[in-house]
Structures are given as structure tokens and as C-alpha cells.
Structure 1
Amino acid sequence: MIDEPVLFCLHFLGGSARTWRPLAERLGPAVTCVAIDLPGFGDEAGHPGGGVAAMADHVAARIKAEAPSGPWLVAGNSMGAKVALALARRHEDGDPALAGLAGLVLLAGSPPCPEPMDEERRQAMIAWIDADPETRRREAEGFVSANVGAPLDPQDHARTVEDVLRANPEAWKAWLASGANEDWRDRIGTLSVPALVVSGAKDGDLGPEAQAALMLPHLARHRHEVAPGAGHLLPLERPEMLAALIRDFVAARPASAEAPTLPPAFAALMGSDRVNTRLRTTLRERMREPDGPVCLGADERATLTACLDRVLPQAGPGKIDLARRIDARLASGTGDGWRFAALPPDAEAYARALRTLDGTARAAHGRPFTALSGAEQDALLARATSGDLPELPGGLAPALMTCWFEELRGEAVRTFLAHPAGLAAIGFTGIGAGGDDADALPGYRLTGLNDREPWEQPVLDTVGDAR
């Protein structure tokens, strides 16, 4: 539970701090909203705007000035979301001014990669902002209407049009020509801060599929919700829905998405004198999340996560993050000392294989592997098993994909069973085969079929006998 949180709110292109009024009213005292005008917009329209980093500087200074006493969150709609991502990266890199960040709320967010937009439409938007007043008002009306799934409340519509008209033309053009096209993928990487992602079902450019493909791969701990019938201006279109989602997000315990906890019976066994000190130390070390370097890109890691969810599904919350552990292993250059001779080194093989899977998904379905249904993902993985995937530039040959997928399945199982939670899930009691004094605590006395030692009973009652 986040106590008395402050939500700093960053608006969309052409919006202002006023954009967040409907949401702030519905959140009430549960969350304190502090809406910020980005440079060039709202009450900051005297500034010519700037790129993502400059906007993040502006917001960071405001957060420091506000000096929230407790944890705080940052919400961003469209353009504002890309700025929020930059702030989150600074937080995770240790910026003391941003130390209290506890969560992201990304609404129809502009992703770390260049924003997908038809170039002809981009140029038209750049052109009309400098037109005569009549043309500007007509285009501003059209801009607001085109970005919502259904007409706004008349007062909200009029206020939003006025916000667009008072935007600094230089800031408007700077975002469309430069800021939206900035590529922050490598700088953002994968963020661990919890994130609530909301997309509008009728959002043409940054709807659910775009968020799944372009935003979610950069968020290790996220919840993605879709607003039916909504477009791009979610704080104005769905304030009630967003208020409920944000209250739930604030109330949730972030640890629920962290590494899994052990069932009490298995934890008791692991802490008992039946487990020797050296083994117990090793098992506890294996429960730590890897904090070392990784080598896969965010898109590749997301594809690996989706693939592992099909290869070795894990039920319930607190799943072992197999992708993170495999990625850390690849970065370390270690392994089990064996691989198919025809495959390139592990890190290269994984990267090329994951690009093959994702490229095939896009070619066959028009969507990334992460956005496919489970059945569609399974069908592609079956083709990998049979050597039936196409050879794509920078990918692996069909025969090598078969070798790699066999390697992946083995590594998934090894990684799962290396974690104490994996051992607990299958009811493995072998860790209790003898403590520091093996003579006093021999492992097993009962060796008959389905015989259970009394000390095994609590663990095996949890999941059934796995021997």
C-alpha cells in the first residue's frame, strides 16, 4: 500500500494541466494530483518547448520543488508518457531528486521508440499550427474530435480546443518533428518500477496492439488495461475508469510482482536442520533476482518472456522470472558447458532466434510475437520445432531454430528447478536428505513405492507426491 501518494500528471501534445481536472475530481482525497504544464503548453506557453530530456528536466525540477513527503507516482498521457519514462530511467539510475518514485501510469503512451504516425498527417499538423486564426481553430477542433472515441462533454471539448490554440507553435512543431521521433529504447531499457498501462480501444496509432508491441517490452512489472470505446485522450474520456484503476494500482502491493515466495511448509523444511548450511545458503542465493548486466534488447526480452510462458507456464502471482535469469546468464557468458556445435555462441543464438520468431509473427499476422494469442504463439513454436520457420535477415536458419528451441526448453526447465520455488512447486524434498550432521539425520529410511517420511509430509501435502 502506498501511503498518501502524490500523482504528478503530464499532458498530451496540445494539452495542459487542465486536462487532468476530471480525473483529479474523481480521485478525490485518495490521491493528490499535481498537474504540470510541459514547456510550450498551458501556462508555460511562453517557452518554445524542447526534446524529451529537456521536458524531463522541467518536470524533475517541479517535483523537487514540490518535495513530496511520501512516495509519488507520475502519470503521462501520450507525449507526457515518454517524458515519464525518461524520469523513471533517471530514478532507476539513482537520481536522488527522483528517489521517491513508486509507480508509472502510462495512458495511450508515446513509446520509447519513434512514435508511429503517418508522415503525411505529421506534416499536415506541423503546417496548420502556423496558419491563420480561422484555419487554426478549425484544425484544432478536428484534432480534438479525431483523438476521442466519442464526443467529449461540451465544456471539456471547448477547454481542450483552447489549450491546443494557446500552445506555442514552436513547441508543437518541435515535438512532432523531433521529440516524438527520438529513439530512447536503449536508454530506457527495461524498467522495474511498477506500471499501469491503459490504452483506448479506438486509438488508431497508440492503441492496445501498439502498447503491447512498443511499450510493454520496456516494463518488467506492468498491468495493461484497455478502455472500450475510448480514443487517445483518456484523462478526458474515461476519468471514472482511470480513477478506479489508479486507486487499485496504488493500493496493490508492488511486491506481488516480485520474485515468488515459498510455500510455508517448504520454507520450514529449507530452514530446518535437515538441510545442510552450504545447501541452504545456495538455495537462498538462488532466490535473489539477478542484478547484474543483461544482453538482450527490450523487444528480444519481451519475446523471450512470451515464449517461456508457452514453454513452461506458471500459474498464479509471483512467477519465477525465467527470462530475466536467462538473460543474466547470457550476459555472464557462463553455461552448462554444452551446446549444439552448429549454433553460434549462446547470446548471439538467442538474439537471432528471438528476432526470427518476432519477424515471422509480424510477417504472418501483422503483429509482434508478444501480441499474438496463445494458440498463434504455439503454432509458431511448433514450426520452430519442425524446422519450418523462414530464414530472415539476421535470424537463424530453420534447422538451427530447431536446435535452439530444444536448448531453450532445456534451459527453461533447468532455470525453473534451480529456484527453490520451482522445487517447491513439484514437491521436491531431496534438499532434506541430510543436515550438517549427516549421521544424526540420514536422508531417507522409507524407500518403498509411495512411502513418505514424516518430515516430508507437509511439503508433499501441498502439491502431491512428486517422487
Structure 2
Amino acid sequence: MSEDTASAPDEATPTLYLLHALGASARSFDRLASRLEGRVRVVGIDLPGFGDEAAADDSSLAASVAHVERRLHAEARGRWLLGGHSMGGKIAALVASRVLRGDASLFGLGGLVLMAPSPPRPEPMDEERRALMLSWVAEGPISEQDADTFLSQNVARPLDDAAHAQSVADLRRTSPAAWRAWLETGSTVDATAQVQTLDLPVLVLAGTDDADLGAAAQPGLLASVYPRARFATLADTGHLIPLERDAEAAAAIEAFVDDEVRVGPVVPAEWVRLIAGDRVDARVRGILARRALPDDRGYAPGVLDLAQLTLLREIADLVVPQEGPAIDIAARVDAQLARGEGDGWRPADLPADPEAYRRGLDTLAASWPTDPADRDRVLRAAIEGEGEDGGPLDAARLKAWLEDARNDLVRQWLAHPASMARVGYDGFATGGSPIRGFVELRLGRREDWEPSGVGGTIATGDAA
């Protein structure tokens, strides 16, 4: 869906904002939008110097990143993703890195969809081809003949008439300055230090017939940047994936969103606006943005083994029962242990936390029922110190460990921004410059900037 035909956001449907390739426009994603309608809302964004933004004065990477952030700040709500094709992939990476650091006034990013993306590092490109492409704009906009040449070099098979005509039109209205800016600077910039590692769900689509940015090259270019990347190969496909393989790309995107993005709770829109606003420090916003990312369904434990993690998940279901899409708080506790983090204390007669967890879980496993109905009884007995001795931990130490473990599980649940919204905690929104605080600290009083769910008596009109 192009910018001028975008419908109003629907928070129940994820929105995928897509950044186009060199010489293309938001229109290049219209076919994807049509195929995904009702399941994933697709919105293309014209980058400065291209499409309807062809008259932009500045087409640098920095200007493009700022342009995208402004659009997202105005529109992005609910569960949303960012994506990019070719050139747009590098810009998407820069925007995503700023979102997850908290530097952008944005919140709610749930994943990335990349199609033959240019990597954060300098893009592999034959220098003779770069020089030829630069010669096409030496005297003004690209000619129709050169546009045809460009398209023929980037597809496995000729595009259909409608796609070809649209692509030629986009190429011919591309700003020569923007074309040069990408080939001379944008594609050659090494942005790896800015992007670093982005640990979020990522789908990478690439064709077998793409010379520089194809399926064979992408894992080597991106695996270290996106540790959770899912690489999908499109056979008999060149570089122009949204036009060559819109049906296959749409199917892969839908499966990716269902498997890896529709995971866990959605942060309510009022809370999204609060976190993205100027009351929240960048560092805090970044922490909350990373906590809100969908959990990895293929999570490989770092401290526990799979059996221990499974048992911890079953304990978590009893300690913190969750309605609707759940947070994988057991996996988050394991990741916490792997990072060597904790609350700063432990019972004196227990070993260090990683070993205490392994011993505690192994002790419970010996008497853990297969029938879920009996698990609450066994866990309650262990919590009260009535478990049987003889395992890696005796009953007294098992009781002490379970107090620690329950605290960790609850803390991981409460740390998620959706949980903060559920309990009405907005104490994180006291930063900014100048620092803001609360004017009134009374039960049932809600200040003007707080979400409507905070301070129940205000919501019912009991307080003036």
C-alpha cells in the first residue's frame, strides 16, 4: 500500500512499514499490500529523493533515517514492523538500532522484514557497474533506455508490463542527486558500529539470481548483525523481489509474522505514546523497547538444559498465570542467569544462582506430576517446606530457592511494558530535560499526562 492510499491503523493487525530500493518508490510494495490485506497492513514510505519525495533537498543516509522516524512517530501504533528492500534495508537497520537504543522517539518495533537488503557494512558492488550507473545521471534524470537496462540487470525474468511501466516511471522521476548520494556515499558507508547487533525477529528474503545481494551472500553479510534472522531463498528470482515474487514474499511474511511477531502481549496505544514521549529518558526507552520485543520461540537456554527450562516454564504458569499471549518469563530468567544478573542477594546456604536453579529444578523434577492438575499441590508443598529430602536440595533449601525463583519470575513479568500498563505503573516517565516528576502523589489521582487507566477513581469521576 503506498503512502496516499494507506488506511487508518488497526491495532489488531500488525503494520509493516517498508522502505524501497534505489530508484523505486512506495508503489513497489502495492502488490504485497494487496496480497497481505487483512492479515498484515503494508505501508510503503517514499525516501527523500524518490517517488513523491523526489524534490527533497537532502538524500543522505542521516536525512533518510530522520525522514522515516518522523513518519513512524506520526503513524506507528500497536504492533508494528519495519522493513526494507535493497537500499531500504540499510536505512531500516539504522532506524531499528536507534529505536532499540531509545534514541528515536518511537516505541513498539516488533521485527524486521528485509528483501535483498544492503548490509550495514559497505555494499558489495562492482566498481565498473557503479561508474556506469553514475553515468546515467550525469546530465539529468535517468533516460528510459537506461531505466530499461537497469531493470534487465536486476531481474531473473522480465517483469510483466504493469510492473515494468511502474518501475521505469519511478526510475525516471528519481532525483539525480539522490541516485548519486546512494552510489557514492550511502552504499559505501560502514554503519556497523552504529547498528551493532539487533537481537529481534528478522526475516531476510533473497533471490538465487541476485548477483551481489542474493541468497548465497546474505547469511555472510547479516548473520552477525541479526542473530535471530530467518533466511528464506526465492528460486529463479533476481533483485526486485516485491515485483518478481510478490506472492511468495507475501506468504513468507505472513508465516514470519504469525510464528515470530504475534508473540506476547501488545502494549496499549496510550502507553506507547507515553514511552515514546519526552518524559522518558532515551536509555529507559531503549530498555523498555528491548523488553517489549517478541520472545524467541526457538530460544536455546544458556544456563539450564531443555528439560529444566520446560519445568521452569510449568512453574511460571503456576506462579504468574497469564491471560492471552504470554511472556516467556522462564526463558527471560534463564537469559538473566546467563548474563550473570540478579537482584543482588541469595540465601547464604544456597550456591550461586545458576547452580541453585539447576539443583532446585532437578529436585522438583523427581516428584513433578505429569498431570497439570496435581502440579499446584506439589509446588505449594515445596514452597511451604514440606517437600521430601534426598534430592540435590533438601526441603529447607528448596523452600529458600523457590522464594528466590518466584521473585525472579514475577520481576521478569512486571518488567515488561505491557505488564506495567496492566498494573498502572508509569513511574518510569519522570525523566526528560528538564526532568519531570509528579505533582500529586495521592491515591486515585491521575495527572494530565498519565494514561487513562491510571488512577481508577479519576476514571469514574469520583475525584475532581
Q: What TM-score does the superposition give when structure 1 sets the normalisation length? A: 0.59
Question: Normalized per residue, which structure has more helix?
Answer: 1
Which residue number in structure 2 is paired with residue 72 of structure 1? 80
Distance 1:26 1:285 in 2: 35
Distance 1:88 1:197 in 2: 15
Deviations 1:34-88 (A, max 9, x none): 111100001111014422222111011011122x331111120000010110111
Q: Percent identity of the aligned residues?
A: 40
Which residue number in structure 2 is paired with residue 20 of structure 1? 29
1:248 equivalent in alignment to 2:264? no
- Which of 194, 199, 215 matches 1:192? 199
Task: Give the direction of change, closer, same or farther, for the CA distance of 1:268–1:7 in structure 2 (3 Å limit).
Answer: closer
Structural RMSD (CA): 3.6
Deviation at 1:286, TM superposition (A): 9.3
Deviations 1:415-458 (A, max 9, x none): xx96968998xxx669879x8979961339xxxxxxxxxxxxxx
User: Which SS does the other structure have where 2:230 is aligned?
Assistant: strand
Distance 1:422 1:200 in 2: 48
1:443 equivalent in alignment to 2:391? yes
Q: Is contact 1:259-1:289 (8 Å) kept?
A: no
Alignment of 1:125-136 (within 5 A): 125-131=133-139, 136=143
Deviations 1:146-200 (A, max 9, x none): 1011111111101101111110000000000000011011211110121000001
Which residue number in structure 2 is paired with residue 163 of structure 1? 170
Which residue number in structure 1 is paired with residue 146 of structure 2? 139
Deviation at 1:95, TM superposition (A): 3.8
Amino acid at match of 1:127: S
User: Which SS does the other structure have where 1:112 is aligned?
Assistant: coil
1:53 equivalent in alignment to 2:65? no
Deviations 1:307-330 (A, max 9, x none): xxxxxxxxxxxxxxxxxx6xx68x
1:113 equivalent in alignment to 2:125? no
Deviations 1:125-151 (A, max 9, x none): 111112477x72211110011101111
User: Which SS does the other structure have where 1:22 is aligned?
Assistant: helix
Which residue number in structure 2 is paired with residue 369 of structure 1? none
Q: Is contact 2:363-2:391 (8 Å) kept?
A: no
1:148 equivalent in alignment to 2:155? yes
Structure 2: any 5+ residue segments left out of the alignment?
1-10, 264-293, 317-329, 341-353, 368-381, 393-464
Distance 2:207 2:52 in 1: 28
1:226 equivalent in alignment to 2:233? yes
User: Which SS does the other structure have where 1:208 is aligned?
Assistant: coil
Which residue number in structure 2 is paired with residue 104 of structure 1? 112
Which residue number in structure 2 is paired with residue 181 of structure 1? 188
1:43 equivalent in alignment to 2:87? no
Distance 1:11 1:97 in 2: 22
Alignment of 1:420-431 (within 5 A): none
Distance 1:423 1:30 in 2: 43
Which residue number in structure 1 is paired with residue 343 of structure 2? none
Alignment of 1:214-363 (within 5 A): 214-252=221-259, 253=263, 254-255=294-295, 256-258=297-299, 260=301, 263=307, 267=311, 287-289=333-335
User: Which SS does the other structure have where 2:38 is aligned?
Assistant: helix
Deviations 1:388-415 (A, max 9, x none): xxxxxxxxxxxxxxxxxxxxxxxxxxxx
Which residue number in structure 1 is paired with residue 209 of structure 2? 202
Q: Is contact 2:98-2:104 (8 Å) kept?
A: no
Deviation at 1:28, TM superposition (A): 1.4
Distance 1:269 1:244 in 2: 31
Q: Is contact 1:71-1:100 (8 Å) kept?
A: yes
Amino acid at match of 2:24: G
- Which of 118, 122, 126 matches 2:130? 122
- Which of 41, 55, 70 matches 1:32? 41
Which residue number in structure 2 is paired with residue 413 of structure 1? none
Deviation at 1:265, TM superposition (A): 9.7
Deviations 1:272-296 (A, max 9, x none): 9xxxxxxxxxxx89943259xxxxx
Distance 1:17 1:269 in 2: 43
User: Which SS does the other structure have where 2:82 is aligned?
Assistant: strand
Distance 1:238 1:81 in 2: 18
Task: Give the direction of change, closer, same or farther, for the CA distance of 1:122–1:96 in structure 2 (3 Å limit).
Answer: closer
Q: Is contact 2:46-2:52 (8 Å) kept?
A: yes
Structure 1: any 5+ residue segments left out of the alignment?
273-283, 292-324, 330-416, 445-467
Task: Give the direction of change, closer, same or farther, for the CA distance of 1:285–1:88 in structure 2 (3 Å limit).
Answer: closer
Deviation at 1:228, TM superposition (A): 0.3
Amino acid at match of 2:334: R
Range with bigger deviation, 44-53 or 6-15: 44-53
Task: Give the direction of change, closer, same or farther, for the CA distance of 1:421–1:173 in structure 2 (3 Å limit).
Answer: farther
Which residue number in structure 2 is paired with residue 62 of structure 1? 71
Which residue number in structure 2 is paired with residue 448 of structure 1? none
Which residue number in structure 2 is paired with residue 349 of structure 1? none
Amino acid at match of 1:9: L
User: Which SS does the other structure have where 2:335 is aligned?
Assistant: coil
Amino acid at match of 1:94: G
Deviations 1:207-252 (A, max 9, x none): 1222111112200211110110001110011110111111111111
